[in-house]
Amino acid sequence: MQGITEDDIATYLANTPGFFERHAELLASIQLANPHGGRAVSLQERQMDMLRERIKGLERRIIEMIRAGHDNEALVNKMHRWTRAVMLARSASVLPQVLIEELKHEFMIPQAALRVWGVAPAHAGLPWAQAVSDDLKTFSASLSVPFCGLNSGFEAAHWLSADGTPAQSIALVPLRLGAAAGECFGLLALGSPDALRFQSDMGTEFLQQVGDLASAALARLLSD
């Protein structure tokens, strides 16, 4: 046996399926340590334990998949209701308010506001068309994906504190004409007093979809 390793034995047994058929008495007499206690168990018992653990793991995965399916269905329904409300807005002048209020309601977002620049003269005096700095326009145009993270004094954060409650975390979603590389004409700001609500490592796919739909709706406010 000198020079033979456990790996050699394991390889031999794996490649010789008839071994235990020829040595059935050995299979029946093998005793293994029970991982859940000190007593030894037979190989068959140990295999059953392993099978039970595998079944439990599969059950947990199935439960997680079902839960994820329910969560995704709920998200789709919320997105549908929000999109429908935006499409049913009575006029262009109330569209931004409807967009913001329904977004907060459907997705339980504590704070939300937006600014649009380059609007038609008929809308220039409305709150969401107030002037913003060139720095903010440049910053918004530089966002290839929505920004999420702590509020470090962003200009847009001031739009969210109308009720006197500062936003601790913030999401900034650029509004663009056409494709992702299209001209930026506005910024949607979402905020929360909870510093963990919008985190820098969170996925932004949902926010990108919100930005695409908001951009398509608000583009009608721009000058020709």
The torsion region of residue 91 among left (phi > 0), alpha (psi -120 to 50) and beta comes to beta
Q: What is the pTM of this model?
A: 0.71
Amino acid letter for position 128? W
Nearest-angstrom CA–CA distance, 185 and 123: 14
pLDDT digits (tens, 9 = 90+) for 51-82: 888 888 888 889 889 888 888 888 899 999 99
- Tokens, residue 212: 């695409």
- Tokens, residue 39: 């007593």
pLDDT digits (tens, 9 = 90+) for 154-168: 999 999 876 678 899
3-state DSSP assignment of residue 49: helix
Mean pLDDT per 10-residue interval, the chain, length 224 residues: 78 82 72 63 68 86 87 90 93 92 94 94 91 95 94 91 84 87 91 93 91 93 82
Q: What are phi and psi of 189, to 5 degrees?
A: -115, 130
Strand residues in the chain grouped as ranges (E):
31-33, 40-42, 111-116, 147-150, 169-176, 184-192
